[in-house]
Amino acid sequence: MKRYEHYAQDIARLIKAQTLRPGDRLPSVRQASTSRQISPATVFAAYYLLEAQGLIEARARSGYYVKTQAQPLQAEPSTAPPGTDATPVNISDLVFEVLESTRQPDVVPLGSAFPSPALFPLDKLARCLTPAMRRLEPERMVEDLTQGNERLRRLICLRYASHGTTLAMDEVVITNGAMEALNLCLQAVTQPGDVVAVESPTFYSALQALERLKLRAVEVATHPRDGIDLASLEAVLQAHPVKACWFMPNFQNPLGSLMPEPRKQALVQLLAEHQVPLIEDDVYGELYFGLNRPPPAKAYDHHGLVLHCSSFSKCLAPGYRVGWVAAGRFARQVQRLKLMTTLSSAIPSQLAITDYLQGGQFERHLRQLRLSLAQQQEVALKVIAAHFPPGTRVTRPQGGYFLWLELPPQVDALVLQRRALAEHISIAPGHLFSADRRFCHCLRLNYGQLADARFEDALKRVGELACELLSG
């Protein structure tokens, strides 16, 4: 395939996935040429091809725009407004029950929180391990403790700088995955009994962390496409003594919502006005299907109030347990908490990833990973349209690997989860994603799987089971 065809294909994919929507303006020739590092002629050739395919149209003196298509699509879910009370959390037992039941190897893991490890360059990473550790002088073994390997922290900061986000080297602490980072941040900014604002629906690990630390959750209305509703957040900030927010502005789990940039900026500003720290979970930020990496909220932080957490677990190295936190004005507290709780992250993992990043193949792997995920999303949406009950609503996220389904209200997702598991298919019922169990007819489905019949058949079967539940 020629270079311009490649680019045209990428754009076509974005249109098909509704990442680019009818009326959206395509990047200018100059922008596209710069960001893709291709010649302007190649960009033109791609746009001519797309025009010929009827996907885009030129408008005089203005550029290229996505044409309006006449394709039927399933409805997206709407915002489900949460109650207004701050509630103690008690969902751990259910989460453990569901998670433990879905970890068996013969189960198709549609309910899993992890993409298939087969999507990652595990062999290349493994090859980095021994040479990286053999080069380490023994005395350095102790020096790298707690804050993490300096070379790795530098590479992480450079990566953020390349997409316009400034992190200071000395605010970054390497952690045992993002999970530890998030937990340390929560401990750094709260005391037992405090109120923490979370999205609605929320990632169950956030709820578990609140439960463990005896914090109270207040849920903020969250739009399935555009994320946190700022008016709702403002109301929550006025009604409750909120000590921190735990949000995922990029590809929220489970919704997949992506906050538009102006909204992210307004979020950071609103929280700065209230002097409320934002714990930002950005583990899916690299898994975008669009043309550019969506900036994290941290990019707009001028007050050191954003505690930005991420990891390599979802984009490069599952099982290596290397995450990080850039905790702004809370950096020292987070570092001390890390020292007191787990001392340090594993050095072999840190060094292997450092070497891999310096080897220069990370970008290529990410492009391939994003393409695989985007393609699997298309497959999943087709199967859902064909086999799930009429009235099913489904998200169309622009990144990540989760779909959020709203089934007809008569379907109890926990019953569906149990029936599916009996047929060796796991799903994540909506019950897991809220302290007040408002999402009992919703599901999170993981499409971060290999493209094979096993995945499609399992998904189809879940749809059939949902139809059976409705008719039975």
- Report long-range pairs for 355-359 (Cβ below 8 Å, ≥24 apart): 355/128, 355/131, 355/132, 356/121, 356/124, 356/125, 356/128, 356/316, 356/317, 357/152, 357/155, 357/159, 358/151, 358/155, 359/124, 359/128
Cα dist from 6 to 2, 27, 41, 180, 233, whole Å: 6, 16, 14, 39, 42
Build a one-symbol-per-residue string for 203-222: x at contacts with its own copies by CB under 8 A, - elsewhere. Answer: --x--xx--x-x--------
Which residues lie closer than 8 Å to 79 by C-beta, 6 or more apart?
221, 222, 223, 224, 229
Nearer to its own copies, 142 or 239 (CB): 142
| Selection from 239, 244, 235, 201 nearest residue 219 by Cα | 201
Minimum Å distance from CB 23 to its own copies?
41
Q: Is 141 in the site for its own copies (CB under 8 A)?
A: yes
End-to-end CA distance of the chain: 50
Count Cα neighbours of 202 within 13 Å in the Cβ-side half-sphere.
29
Q: Which is nearer to its own copies, 103 or 302 (CB)?
A: 103
Task: Considering only residues 143 through 172, tell me which ones interact with its own copies, judged by CB under 8 A.
Answer: 143-145
| Options 179, 220, 244, 413; binder of its own copies; rule CB under 8 A | 179
H/E segment holding residue 16: helix 3-16
- Closest by CA position to 84, among listed 206, 209, 221: 221
Position 114 contacts its own copies (CB under 8 A) = yes
The yes or no reply on residue 92 touching its own copies (CB under 8 A) is yes
Residue length of the chain: 472
Of 61 and 134, CB closest to its own copies:
134
Query: Cβ 276 to its own copies, closest distance in Å?
Result: 23
DSSP H or E stretch at residue 177: helix 177-189
For its own copies, which is the closer residue by CB, 166 or 191?
191
Stretch that binds its own copies, among 14-22, 79-87, 331-339, 386-394 (CB under 8 A): 331-339
Q: Does 142 bind its own copies (CB under 8 A)?
A: yes
Position 126 contacts its own copies (CB under 8 A): yes
* Selected binder of its own copies within 18, 176, 250, 252 (CB under 8 A): 176
Is 414 an interacting residue with respect to its own copies (CB under 8 A)?
no
* Reduced DSSP (H G I as helix, E B as strand, rest coil) percent helix, strand, coil of the chain, to 5: 45, 15, 40
Instruction: Select from 117-125, 272-280, 291-299, 354-362 the region that touches its own copies (CB under 8 A).
Output: 117-125
* Residue 183 or 202 with smaller CB distance to its own copies: 183
CB of 207 to its own copies, least distance (A): 10
Please report whether residue 125 would count as binding its own copies according to CB under 8 A.
yes
Cβ proximity to its own copies, 149 vs 417, nearer residue? 149
Check binding of 452 to its own copies (CB under 8 A): no
Cis peptide before 254 (omega within 30 of 0): yes
Q: Within positions 240 to 299, which residues make up the interface with its own copies, using CB under 8 A?
A: none
Under rule CB under 8 A, residue 177 binds its own copies: yes
d(CA 374, CA 378): 7
- Among residues 313, 435, 433, the alpha carbon closest in space to that of 369 is found at 313
Question: Residue 342, Cβ neighbours under 10 Å: how many?
Answer: 14
Under the binding rule (CB under 8 A), the answer on residue 371 touching its own copies is no
Residues found near its own copies in the complex (CB under 8 A): 92, 96, 99, 103, 105, 109, 112, 114, 116-118, 120, 122-123, 125-131, 133-134, 136, 138-139, 141-145, 176-177, 179-180, 183, 187, 192, 205, 208-209, 212, 214, 318-322, 336-337, 339-349, 352
